[in-house]
């Protein structure tokens, strides 16, 4: 596989994981696996700078906002934290910081437990809560104010007086173990899928459309920082800031401590590890923060993601030993054959584990994992456990090395290994396993959102011969449904309504739902915004005109072209259109927009627009936003404190405009 293909694959895997985690609250891979993919992509991009792209997940702070809730642009980005897994990594962090700002060694540190919940930003205007939002991408989150207002821990008005005019309080919303267990018990009774961990349950509760559901979950919060947008604070240290937050009425992490040096912090790390095991909420480490606030600006932020003034000291995940009973293979919707382990059930972090992912045959061979082996399994507070390694006992006979079957386990089609590919694929588009997965994906919450249409029901509809593909969903009738087993009038009503409703989903979700290989959610949004309608996309795809679109690399472009060139796919799309499924994107870039074909660069702080707002305006007018200035740049939009990009623009004679001019060009002012 070429480095470009490798990067495309990693990006797709990471995007998929991001979406499963942040938008669907249903993670598909473990944090450890995610970190591994992420680091691999970072290393690849470092080695091949030509592969770097502003759309790469490495350039993003976090998740993508989902579609149902209103977006909220944070005034200051919500950052993430770098990790240290050992005392050495912690010491190296201080050394790196000290080279930049020698005073850090004398500034003292504050430590707090790292709460494993979901980050929120609470905007207070003159001491009153006006907006509460999720983190989302770190730049744009979702407005969940009514839900956050149901959390008793969150003051609606700050206690005391003389608050800065405008602030964003940052904290972590979490669900204590007791509430988590209760919520899952209730879900079990209702036959709803269980939350994998308290973190996902908290995120799910926050993103409800009905605040009463949020209220019933009994979420809690710990506040940990403040961003002052307008006004000032007299605090000099992070510990004082936590005291201030407490005086305003926020719960702050009760196990916080201040230490004079990193050496002292290290001496107490073990205590934190023991403490965490006893807490009544999920925690996954200790956050170490430079205490002296004036140093934060000087220390700065790495890659726009991680501030240097804080680091998360993580603890090793819990490990268990068990027996590998079998290796089975699941067929995904793209035909990918995914091997997984059947384990002798074992308890890890209070959960019974009986399956683990094995990723691909090379990984199994590299780790030399064989059926019958005793294996070490980890689960770090997350859903899918991993096999770390086999525990080889001398003199104990082992089985044969495992071989991936040469045929699809569902339809028997041969699945030869393609040179350079880690995965094998079932090539049969009518393979029952692929069809099932494809329809479930189409109906899933992140795509066409047909509520109530999960595996069991799709399987039943396929078995009954009512559907063979996604277009068939739109011809199912109420009369057909009520005749099926396990359907009452009400469930038939609900499914018919959900299918009808799905016709209104935006084009981006339709494209994503079609399951075109390599087209993840982000690529689907880019394509939908760029072309506006499915017909326009189809024309461009067939004419092979997808190259050159930012964020759409050759692997994706070829895959989309191949999809539209397949006559069966075109028939399917025609049937979806005839059924009345929406084929347009609400926020599409207009091809004849005021800025169509133009490339703009943003620099400095604009007086009223945030970065993401300015980007959306430019893109909706048909333009493109690039990250650096070149001769091809049509204009640079410069705000306050514009830096080297402005100098470069002057040097190259590129036009420089201000926000007012940008607004005029996109038709937002006269
Ligand atoms: S301070 C850098 N303190 O961990 C932004 N974060 O993995 C300031 N978190 O995004 C973060 N407990 O959501 C801080 N005591 C704590 C925390 C904490 C949990 C979360 C936070 C952050 C994420 C990074």
Ligand 1 centroid to residue 494 C-alpha, Å: 40
- Name the 3-class secondary structure at 544: coil
pLDDT at 661 over 50: yes
Q: Is 81 in the pocket of ligand 1 (CB under 6 A)?
A: yes
Task: Report the C-alpha gap between 576 and 503 in whole angstroms.
Answer: 9
The residue whose CA has the least distance to atom 23 of ligand 1 is 80
Q: Which residues, listed in sequence order, are joined to residue 170 by a DSSP beta bridge?
A: 121, 225
To the query of whether residue 114 is one of the catalytic residues in this protein, the response is: yes
Ligand 1 centroid to residue 328 C-alpha, Å: 38
Task: Tell me which of 151 and 25 has the higher pLDDT.
Answer: 151
Under 8 Å between Cβ of 443 and 453: yes
In percent, how much of the chain has pLDDT > 90? Answer: 52
Task: Report the C-alpha gap between 391 and 659 in whole angstroms.
Answer: 63
> Where residue 25 falls among pLDDT bands split at 50, 70, 90?
low
Under 8 Å between Cβ of 157 and 129: yes
Closest CA to 121 of 248, 249, 225, 235: 225
Same fold flag, 432-502 and 507-578: yes
Q: Is 172 in the pocket of ligand 1 (CB under 6 A)?
A: yes
The per-residue pLDDT for range 450-503, each reduced to its tens digit, is 998 989 999 999 999 999 999 999 999 999 999 999 999 999 999 999 999 999
Q: Is 281 in the pocket of ligand 1 (CB under 6 A)?
A: no
Q: Is 307 in the pocket of ligand 1 (CB under 6 A)?
A: yes
Task: Tell me which of 177 and 91 has the higher pLDDT.
Answer: 91
Pairing between strand 82-84 and 220-230?
Answer: unpaired
- Name the 3-class secondary structure at 191: coil
Under 8 Å between Cβ of 442 and 513: yes
What stretches of 444-594 show up as alpha helix (H) in DSSP?
A: 455-463, 478-482, 489-502, 507-514, 521-531, 534-542, 554-565, 567-578
The per-residue pLDDT for range 229-271, each reduced to its tens digit, is 999 999 999 999 999 999 999 999 999 999 999 999 999 998 9
Task: Report the C-alpha gap between 210 and 561 in whole angstroms.
Answer: 41
CA distances in angstroms from 632 to 52, 513, 590, 662, listed in the order given? 19, 35, 21, 18
- Name the 3-class secondary structure at 273: helix
> What size, in residues, is the chain?
670
Task: Report the C-alpha gap between 462 and 438 in whole angstroms.
Answer: 12
Q: Is 439 in the pocket of ligand 1 (CB under 6 A)?
A: no
- Name the 3-class secondary structure at 2: coil
Q: Which residues, listed in sequence order, are joined to residue 318 by a DSSP beta bridge?
A: 379
Task: Report the C-alpha gap between 11 and 57 in whole angstroms.
Answer: 7
Atom of ligand 1 lying closest to residue 307 CA: 2
The residue whose CA has the least distance to atom 7 of ligand 1 is 81
- Give 432-502's CATH code, choosing from 3.20.20.70, 1.10.150.20, 1.10.760.10, 1.10.10.10: 1.10.150.20
The per-residue pLDDT for range 511-562, each reduced to its tens digit, is 999 988 888 777 888 899 889 899 999 999 998 888 767 668 788 899 899 9
Ligand 1 centroid to residue 244 C-alpha, Å: 18
Q: Is 636 in the pocket of ligand 1 (CB under 6 A)?
A: no
Look at residue 432 in the predicted model and tell me its pLDDT. Answer: 93
- Name the 3-class secondary structure at 41: helix
CA distances in angstroms from 193 to 26, 121, 183, 190, listed in the order given? 10, 28, 11, 9
Ligand 1 centroid to residue 110 C-alpha, Å: 13
Q: Is 111 in the pocket of ligand 1 (CB under 6 A)?
A: no
Atom of ligand 1 lying closest to residue 81 CA: 24
Pocket test for ligand 1, best of 76, 81, 239 (most atoms within 8 A of CB): 81
Task: Tell me which of 26 and 667 has the higher pLDDT.
Answer: 667
Task: Report the C-alpha gap between 552 and 55 in whole angstroms.
Answer: 9
Q: Is 112 in the pocket of ligand 1 (CB under 6 A)?
A: yes
CA distances in angstroms from 26 to 16, 401, 436, listed in the order given? 11, 33, 19
Sequence spans of domains, the chain: 3-60, 82-313, 319-391, 432-502, 507-578, 599-665
Ligand 1 centroid to residue 36 C-alpha, Å: 20
Choice among 105, 106, 114, 577 that is catalytic: 114
Ligand 1 centroid to residue 403 C-alpha, Å: 43
- Give 507-578's CATH code, choosing from 3.40.50.720, 1.10.150.20, 1.20.190.20, 3.30.40.10: 1.10.150.20
pLDDT at 62 over 50: no
Pocket test for ligand 1, best of 61, 62, 74, 115 (most atoms within 8 A of CB): 115
Q: Which residues, listed in sequence order, are joined to residue 129 by a DSSP beta bridge?
A: 124
Look at residue 430 in the predicted model and tell me its pLDDT. Answer: 86
CATH for the stretch 319-391: 2.40.50.140
User: Per the structure block, which two tokens stand in for 656?
Assistant: 């420089």
Q: Which CATH class is domain 3-60?
A: mainly alpha
Ligand 1 centroid to residue 118 C-alpha, Å: 9
> How crowded is residue 128: how many other Cβ atoms within 10 Å of its Cβ?
12
Q: Which CATH class is domain 599-665?
A: alpha beta
Q: Is 62 in the pocket of ligand 1 (CB under 6 A)?
A: no
316: left (phi over 0), alpha (psi -120 to 50) or beta: beta
Q: Is 79 in the pocket of ligand 1 (CB under 6 A)?
A: yes
Task: Report the C-alpha gap between 477 and 484 in whole angstroms.
Answer: 12
Look at residue 23 in the predicted model and tell me its pLDDT. Answer: 59
The residue whose CA has the least distance to atom 14 of ligand 1 is 224
- Give 82-313's CATH code, choosing from 3.40.50.970, 3.30.470.30, 1.10.4160.10, 3.40.50.620: 3.30.470.30
Q: Is 168 in the pocket of ligand 1 (CB under 6 A)?
A: no
Ligand 1 centroid to residue 245 C-alpha, Å: 15
Pocket test for ligand 1, best of 117, 224, 227 (most atoms within 8 A of CB): 224
Under 8 Å between Cβ of 335 and 431: yes
Give the CA count within 13 Å in the CB-facing half-sphere of 315: 23
Task: Report the C-alpha gap between 171 and 222 in whole angstroms.
Answer: 5
CA 477 to chain centre: 36
């Amino acid at each position: 596989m070429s480095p470009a293909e490798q990067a495309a694959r990693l990006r797709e895997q990471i995007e998929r994981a991001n979406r499963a985690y942040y938008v669907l609250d249903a993670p598909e891979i473990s944090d450890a696996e995610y970190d591994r993919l992420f680091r691999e992509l970072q290393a690849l991009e470092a080695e091949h700078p030509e592969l770097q792209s502003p759309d790469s997940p490495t350039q993003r702070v976090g998740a993508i906002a989902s579609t149902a809730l209103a977006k909220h642009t944070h005034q200051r980005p919500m950052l993430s934290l770098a990790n240290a897994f050992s005392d050495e990594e912690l010491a190296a962090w201080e050394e790196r910081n000290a080279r930049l700002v020698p005073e850090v060694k004398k500034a003292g540190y504050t430590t707090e437990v790292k709460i494993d919940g979901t980050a929120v930003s609470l905007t207070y205007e003159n001491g009153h809560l006006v907006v509460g939002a999720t983190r989302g991408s770190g730049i744009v989150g979702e407005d969940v104010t009514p839900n956050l207002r149901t959390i008793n821990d969150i003051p609606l008005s700050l206690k005391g007086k003389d608050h800065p005019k405008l602030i964003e309080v940052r904290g972590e919303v979490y669900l204590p173990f007791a509430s988590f267990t209760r919520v899952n018990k209730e879900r079990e009774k209702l036959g709803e899928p269980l939350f994998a961990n308290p973190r996902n349950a908290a995120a799910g509760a926050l993103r409800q459309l009905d605040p009463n559901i949020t209220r019933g979950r009994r979420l809690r919060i710990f506040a940990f920082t403040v961003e002052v947008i307008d006004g000032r604070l007299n605090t000099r240290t992070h510990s004082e800031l936590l005291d201030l937050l407490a005086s305003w009425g926020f719960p702050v992490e009760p196990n916080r401590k201040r230490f004079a040096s990193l050496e002292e912090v290290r001496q107490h790390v073990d205590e934190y590890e023991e403490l965490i095991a006893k807490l009544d909420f999920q925690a996954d480490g200790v956050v170490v923060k430079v205490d002296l606030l004036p140093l934060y600006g000087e220390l700065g932020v790495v890659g726009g993601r991680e501030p240097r003034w804080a680091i998360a000291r993580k603890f090793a995940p819990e490990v268990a030993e068990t027996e590998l009973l079998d290796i089975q293979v699941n067929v995904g919707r793209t035909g990918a054959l995914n091997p997984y382990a059947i384990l002798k059930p074992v308890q890890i972090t209070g959960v019974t584990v009986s399956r683990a992912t094995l990723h691909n045959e090379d990984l199994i061979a590299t780790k030399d994992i064989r059926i019958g082996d005793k294996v070490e399994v980890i689960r770090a507070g997350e859903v899918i456990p991993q096999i770390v390694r086999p525990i080889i006992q001398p003199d104990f006979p082992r089985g044969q090395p495992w071989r991936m079957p040469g045929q699809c386990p569902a339809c028997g089609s041969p699945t030869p290994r393609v040179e350079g590919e880690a995965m094998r694929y079932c090539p049969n588009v009518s393979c029952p396993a692929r069809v099932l997965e494809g329809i479930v994906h189409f109906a899933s919450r992140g795509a066409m959102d047909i509520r109530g249409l999960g595996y069991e029901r799709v399987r039943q509809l396929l078995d009954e011969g009512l559907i063979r593909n996604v277009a068939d969903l739109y011809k199912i009738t109420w009369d057909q449904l009520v005749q099926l087993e396990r359907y009452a009038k009400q469930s038939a009503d609900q499914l018919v309504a959900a299918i009808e409703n799905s016709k209104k989903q935006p084009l981006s979700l339709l494209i994503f739902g079609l399951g075109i290989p390599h087209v993840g959610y982000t690529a689907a949004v880019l394509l939908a915004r760029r072309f506006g309608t499915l017909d326009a996309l189809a024309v461009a795809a067939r004419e092979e005109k997808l190259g050159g679109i930012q964020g759409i690399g050759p692997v994706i472009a070829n895959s989309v072209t191949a999809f539209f060139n397949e006559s069966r796919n075109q028939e399917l799309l025609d049937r979806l259109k005839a059924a009345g499924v929406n084929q347009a994107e609400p926020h599409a870039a207009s091809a004849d927009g005021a800025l169509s074909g133009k490339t703009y660069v943003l620099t400095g702080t604009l007086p009223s627009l945030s970065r993401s707002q300015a980007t959306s305006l430019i893109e909706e007018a048909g333009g493109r936003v690039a990250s650096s200035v070149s001769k091809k740049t049509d204009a640079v939009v410069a705000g306050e404190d514009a830096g080297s990009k402005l100098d470069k623009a002057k040097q190259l004679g590129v036009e420089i405009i201000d926000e007012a001019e940008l607004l005029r060009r996109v038709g937002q002012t006269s």
